[in-house]
Amino acid sequence: MKSRLFGSILAGLFATAILPALAQDARPAPGPADARVPVSGYPKPGNFPNANQAAIAEHFNRAKTIAGNDLYVFFDTICMPDYYAQRINGLQYNGIIPAQKVFDNLYYLGQMSVAAWAIKTPAGIILIDALDNADEARDIMVAGLTAQGLDPKDIKYVVITHSHGDHYGGAQYFKNNYGAKLVASAIDWDQMAKPSTPRAHFDPPPKRGPDDMAVKDGDTLSLGGETIHFALTPAHTPGTLSLYFDVTDDGTHHVVGMYGGMGMPRTVDLKHEQIQSLTHWMEMSKAAGVDSQIGNHPLHFDGPMRLETLRYLPKGSRNPFVIGKQPYQRVMDMMRECVRISLARDGVTD
């Protein structure tokens, strides 16, 4: 009798106190931003009146097959943006990701919407990209280097993968404060020198000085025994740079590859150019033995999940950024099919 009574009391307590508390924990308290929006105001999928549905189906299914189960996350985030743009925009928000050591000589220094990296060498540090502005360069990148026990005064170069503000925004800060030499393709140096409409979140393009470098397809940058190899892969911008370099993971050698501009181009001509660039990069990265994947936007390399996996990695497990030589080629091949999907939505076949 007492046990039944206690059970009834406990059930009542769960229904009247615990369940409401759980519900409150699951959703934030209402506020002004929770005003009801009519369904007519919801974002809609992209509208493609000239779409070739048969071609879309062909390349969609081919991309999905290439991705398989192990690379499905890239199919989901790379092949869908031009149809569900709002979903991808929501995932790429400005948010803090703590700096983290990824390989023995490579560190993540980016945030949630855009990535940056540091290669540590015996002769100094090479940065890859510089985020949106000087504030992020200082409060995210420099703070991240310091937190990882690296000295920002050792920064020697900043590689700018392409001429968009979210990649060059903090470059001038590193040049002004640490004397870093800036590296970009000659084409994108010209792009950054052109007049443009200022955007509040991005600092202006850096000013090219006599010590800054312009690189082309096949060029290299060496520092302290470490070498970055460059490929010119235009489409996302006219002078987008992709790159690969050696790393070690607890002393084991790997080759990291980074395609410099995976964002979908807007015009048909540029989409054709993107396919050519991806093919060129696949040939170069295959010959180099690239087996590890990074990028300059976290969504393009499953960044948050890989960083978190690495943080709690059981001893002896494989680094999550190491995906293998053949899977790396599959990611790029799938990306080509994603571009072909986008062309088919424009009513064009490759």
Question: What distance in Å separates the CA atoms of residue 20 and residue 315, rounded to the nearest whole number?
Answer: 41
Lowest mean pLDDT: which of 28-37, 93-102, 218-227, 320-329?
A: 28-37
Question: Residue 32: what pLDDT?
Answer: 60
Burial class (CB in 10 A: 0-12, 13-18, 19+), 185: buried
Which one has a higher pLDDT value, 47 or 215? Answer: 215
In the predicted model, what is the mean pLDDT of the chain? Answer: 90
* Short-list 223, 248, 243, 247, CA closest to 231: 243
Question: What distance in Å separates the CA atoms of residue 54 and residue 224, rounded to the nearest whole number?
Answer: 53
Which one has a higher pLDDT value, 92 or 334? Answer: 334
pLDDT band at 5 (very low <50, low <70, confident <90, very high): very low
Taking only the tens place, the pLDDT of each residue in 205-214 is 999 999 999 9
Mean predicted confidence (pLDDT) in 278-300? 97
Side chain identity, residue 199: R
pLDDT band at 10 (very low <50, low <70, confident <90, very high): very low
Lowest mean pLDDT: which of 88-92, 151-155, 164-168, 189-193?
A: 88-92
* Helix spans in 154-297 (H): 165-168, 171-178, 186-193, 268-288
Taking only the tens place, the pLDDT of each residue in 228-268 is 999 999 999 999 999 999 999 999 999 999 999 998 999 99
Set out the domains of the chain in order of their start, with CATH numbers: 95-323 (3.60.15.10)
Mean predicted confidence (pLDDT) in 54-80? 94
Question: Residue 168: what pLDDT?
Answer: 98
Q: What is the pTM of this model?
A: 0.89
